[in-house]
Structure 1
Amino acid sequence: MSKVYSTQELIEILAQERRSCMNGQRLNLAASVSGNPVIDRFLKPEGIQKFSAYNDFKAAVHSYQRQHQVSGIIWCELTMKGKTLRYPAIDEQLAALDSDLKILKAAKADLLEFWYTGIQGMDLYLSINFGKDYQKIMPNDVKEVAQKTEWANLYEYKNYNFWEIILQLGWGKPEEASYKRGWPKSGSEYIHAVNPGKCPIC
Structure 2
Amino acid sequence: MKSIVVYCGANPGINPIYAQQAYRLGEVLAAKGIRVIYGGGNLGLMGKVANGAIENEGAVTGIIPNFLAKLEVAHQTLTELHLVDTMHERKAKMVAVSDAVIALPGGYGTFDELFEILTWSQLKIFTGPIGLLNTNGYYDLLLQQLDKMVEEGFLQPHNRSLLLVDSDIEGLLIQMESHIARVGGNKNLDRSLYVDDGDGSTP
Shorter chain as denominator, the TM-score bin is: under 0.3
Which one has the bigger helix percentage?
A: 2
Higher relative contact order (CA 8 A, sep 6+): 2
TM-score, scaled to structure 2: 0.26
- The structure with the larger Rg is 1
